[in-house]
Amino acid sequence: MTESVGLQLSAVSAGYGDGYAVQNASVSLPRGSVTAVIGPNGSGKSTLLKAILRLTPEVDGDVSLDGRPLDEQRARVAYVPQRESVDWTFPVSAQQVVLMGRDRLIGWLRRPGPRDHAAVDQALVRVAMRDHADRQIGALSGGQQQRVFLARALVQEASVFLLDEPMTGVDRVTEELIGELFTELKAAGATVLYATHDLEAAADNADFLCFVNRRIVAFGPPAETFTAPVLHETFGGELLILADDGHRHVHGGGHHEHEADG
């Protein structure tokens, strides 16, 4: 992992017209790192990810990538939304969904070429979905749908990956595949930022944890941030941690629930 800053948020606040869902968020994410965003339902996790790409109605503050404003280099960022926000009835195949990830590289007035189709095939193979390339996206299982959207992100040739609850509601095979992809992206120098409810997996697998509850409560390596004071400040009385067997266990407080808009 490099120490050079890739993605930097400076005093970012964002909301939906009835007040800010997340306020004054400042954090620097190194290139070649994986960061998990953790917080209770409604804490601003999703809003924070969307604010980076200015996908919320109100956004204040600055976001830069490699020292330049992110607005000038949006093509370098791939975003994977929550599965619940996608219209799975749309009549497109898995292959067509992945090809959409090439739009900015192809251009609006050009047709996909051999390089584009090769990139789509390689991405589908990478997420073990090549055999399902022609199936309508809504006919796939939840885990398969998530893999297709991961493939769409991969073909964008991005250097920053933002993923909103990528491991929620997926099977174990997909969960392990996502973990492997994170490792590969990190090794390639990408910056990965993903929202999750799985505190223990994040503490085991992410380089940094970003605890959020309307603001950034704590940011840093798991050894420094996965602590009782930080968990209490983030979740209040919603969590119970048991460590009698030497392992971390987290219970309660919507630990496995979905987050709607922040």
pLDDT digits 0-9 by tens, 38-68: 999 889 999 999 999 999 999 999 999 999 9
Q: Look at residue 32 in the predicted model and tell me its pLDDT.
A: 95
pLDDT score of 103? 83
- pLDDT of 261 over the 70 cut: no
| Cα separation, 118 vs 77, whole angstroms | 21
| CA distance readout (Å), 38 to 11, 64, 67, 257 | 19, 22, 26, 13
pLDDT digits (tens, 9 = 90+) for 143-188: 999 999 999 999 999 999 999 999 988 899 999 999 999 999 999 9
Q: What is the pLDDT of residue 85?
A: 77
pTM for this model (two decimals): 0.87
Residues 8 and 5: their CA atoms lie apart, in Å, by 7
- Give mean pLDDT, residues 217-221: 97
Please state the rounded mean pLDDT for residues 106-129: 87
Name all domains of the chain by residue range, CATH numbers in brackets.
5-87+158-251 (3.40.50.300)
Mean pLDDT of 105-112: 73
pLDDT given at position 109 = 64
- Residue 246 scores a pLDDT above 60: no
